[in-house]
Amino acid sequence: MPRACFALLLVSFLAACAPDAQESSGAPSGRPPNFIVFFADDLGWGDLGSYGAPVIRTPHLDRMAAEGQRWTNFYVTASVCSPSRAGLLTGRLPVRNGLYGDQVRVLFPDFVGGIQDEEITLAEALRDVGYATGMFGKWHLGDGPRYLPTRHGFDYWFGIPYSNDMMSTLPREERRAAFLDPKIEYWDVPLIRSERDGAGEIVTETLEQPADQTTITKRYAEEAVDFIRAHRDEPFFVYVPHSMPHVPLFRAPGFENHSGAGLYGDVIEEIDWSVGRILDTLEEEGIAGNTVVFFSSDNGPWTAFRTQGGLAGPLREGKGMTWDGGMRVPGLFWWPGTIAPEVVTKEIGSTSDLFATFVGMAGGAVPDDRPMDSFDLAPVLRGSGEGPREEVPFYRGSELYAYRVGNYKAHFVTEGEYGLAGGRQEHDPPLLYDLSVDVGEQWTIATEQPEALARVTARAAQHLAGVEVAPSQFDLRTGG
């Protein structure tokens, strides 16, 4: 028998012996689905057309909503960048893996801490079951060599290791004004490419410093398109954590005055373009029906930047806070042929649920040797069942500030937004809101509904009893 025929037979035999991927994933091609995760930075709940943005146009994201599922109660695990990314990638609350800080809330360049080797990322779990894994965008889980994405499950990474406003080249007193007239040279952030070479060694190179941020959104998309085309015949996981619309805001020349909603609007419309570019690629390659595409944001809008920050729609406050405006974000799922179109769900979801949901669809294993904060949302996505998540914890650093159970949310502590001082207030009795009738958290009903308050408080206490707080990685910094 020719070697090629034998190889083909062997592949067929192995496929027949493998767990029934078609059964578990519903994938039309008989292989588990591909996953694409867009994770915008500081984009508000109200910044997309399908979430009520009045001026900004987002036709491609609106298409995802129209052809897929739009979640109105979707949350992140923290209201700032680093811990939110940790929650998405590990399926665990940041307090469990140390990716939070009480003295400083995100990682800065050259900090000694970062994601630990014991953590299992979504990329690692998917790579374990044969996925090609590519990342195009912002990491922010540590910039030392041992922390980089290619050490934590990604075969390929093209992006910026932290926020695009770090490595300022300006004196402190000039930094704030620089955001109003941003120039590339004000932020000396590197653009990095890191990948495994033929011998399995990780090769990392700095392509630019400072990165040309005017073309960064476009280049993340184009790099992702190249990766998708190269891996169209195998399952893949593509993670696109855009650096925008985190300030400083930049967009490509073709998007200048594109939106009619200022610089911020232009930036969102370019992100929308990037989504369209990738959806089109999936269709051109004939793999759209076998690809789950998800879009969200790492936290709410940075309202301290006023017109350069986004909108949380009807939600209260924004980035950095445990009001819903800081942690409730858009959640769009698109999977033509499997996810029914035009579904708006009020089920509760979290970015930490992507782990159990996607790993389950891929036929992989969710770790059982550690506490996970990840629910399998597949029944909701397939329209076959109810959502498994009833509760959402709202942490600031290591402290639980608020807790949601069903439609009730209790605040034990509230505090001012990110980048602004103080405002910490402890509430005894806690504030209580019924989000079904008061989505803006305006009218506390703590005295009218003491039983509901007692129930939420008890569930929060139960949650806390099950959380072992890991030492902070961010507070390990040696200076700066």
Catalytic residues: 81, 140
Token digits for 383? 């329209």
Closest approach of Mg ion to the CB of residue 242, in Å: 10
Segment interacting with Mg ion (CB under 5 A) among 39-47, 231-239, 360-368, 389-397? 39-47
Burial class (CB in 10 A: 0-12, 13-18, 19+), 366: middle
Q: Which residues pair with 209 in a beta bridge?
A: none
DSSP strand pairing (34-40 vs 236-240): parallel
CB 81, min distance to Mg ion, A: 4
Stretch that binds Mg ion, among 47-55, 95-103, 293-301, 377-385 (CB under 5 A): 293-301
Task: Pick from 42, 317, 373, 376 the residue near Mg ion by CB under 5 A.
Answer: 42
Nearer to Mg ion, 42 or 373 (CB): 42
For residues 126 and 327, which CB has a smaller minimum distance to Mg ion in the complex? 327
Query: Residue 392: enclosing H or E segment and its boundaries?
Result: strand 391-396
Shortest distance in whole angstroms from residue 377 CB to Mg ion: 22
Contact stretch for Mg ion (CB under 5 A) within 35-43, 217-225, 400-408, 427-435: 35-43
**Position with the least CB separation from Mg ion:** 81
Judged by CB, which is closer to Mg ion: 296, or 357? 296
> Do residues 312 and 301 lie in contact, with contact meaning Cβ atoms separated by under 8 Å?
yes
* Residue 298 lies near Mg ion (rule: CB under 5 A): yes
**Dist CA 160 CA 216 (whole Å):** 9
3-state DSSP assignment of residue 201: coil
Nearest distance from C-beta of residue 39 to Mg ion, angstroms: 9
Residue 196 sits at φ, ψ, to 5 deg, of -90, 135
CB of 469 to Mg ion, least distance (A): 23
- Please tell me whether residue 81 binds Mg ion under the rule CB under 5 A: yes
Provide CB contacts within 8 A for 352, sequence distance 6+. 77, 87, 88, 90, 91, 92, 93, 373, 374
With contact defined as beta carbons under 8 Å apart, do 155 and 132 qualify? Answer: yes
**Least distance in Å: CB of 140 to Mg ion?**
8
Spell out the residues 6+ positions from residue 267 whose beta carbon is closer than 8 angstroms to its own: 217, 244, 245, 249, 250, 251, 255
Taking CB under 5 A as the criterion, the residue among 21, 37, 38, 41 binding Mg ion is 41
The pair of three-digit structure tokens given for residue 237, joined into one six-digit string: 């996981």
Give me the DSSP letters along 386-451.
--S--EEEEEETTEEEEEEETTEEEEEEE---TTS----EEEEEEEEEETTT-TT-----TTT-HH
Question: Any contact of residue 299 with Mg ion (CB under 5 A)?
Answer: yes
Nearer to Mg ion, 33 or 149 (CB): 149
Contact between 361 and Mg ion (CB under 5 A)? no
Candidate ranges 73-81, 133-141, 353-361, 396-404; the one touching Mg ion (CB under 5 A): 73-81
Question: Of 165 and 298, which has the nearer Cβ to Mg ion?
Answer: 298
- The answer to whether residue 272 forms part of the interface with Mg ion (CB under 5 A) is no
- For residues 74 and 433, which CB has a smaller minimum distance to Mg ion in the complex? 74
Give the β-pairing of 156-159 and 191-196.
Answer: antiparallel
How many angstroms separate the CA atoms of 356 and 381, rounded?
13
CB closer to Mg ion, 269 vs 298: 298
Q: Which of 479, 480, 471, 360 is nearest to 116 (CA)?
A: 471
Minimum CB separation from Mg ion for residue 396, in Å? 14
With CB under 5 A as the contact rule, which of the stretches 11-19, 85-93, 290-298, 348-356 interacts with Mg ion? 290-298
* CA proximity to 406, closest of 386, 384, 391, 387: 391
Q: Please answer whether residues 366 and 372 qualify as being in contact, where contact means their C-beta atoms are separated by less than 8 angstroms.
A: yes
To Mg ion, the closest distance from the beta carbon of 42 in angstroms equals: 4
Which residue, 133 or 297, has its beta carbon nearer to Mg ion? Answer: 297
CB 474 within 8 A of CB 141: no
Q: Total number of residues binding Mg ion (CB under 5 A)?
A: 5
In the three-class reduction of DSSP (H, G, I as helix; E, B as strand; rest coil), residue 207 is classed as: strand
417 binding Mg ion? (CB under 5 A):
no
Give yes or no for a cis peptide into 371 (omega within 30° of 0).
Answer: no
Residue 147 is inside which H or E element, if any? none
164 binds Mg ion (CB under 5 A): no
Closest distance of CB 261 from Mg ion, Å: 20
The window from 80-88, 103-111, 207-215, 232-240 that contacts Mg ion (CB under 5 A) reads: 80-88
Residue whose entry in the numeric block shows the structure tokens 């050490």: 151
Q: Which helix (H) or strand (E) holds 311?
A: none
Question: Which residues lie near Mg ion (CB under 5 A)?
Answer: 41-42, 81, 298-299
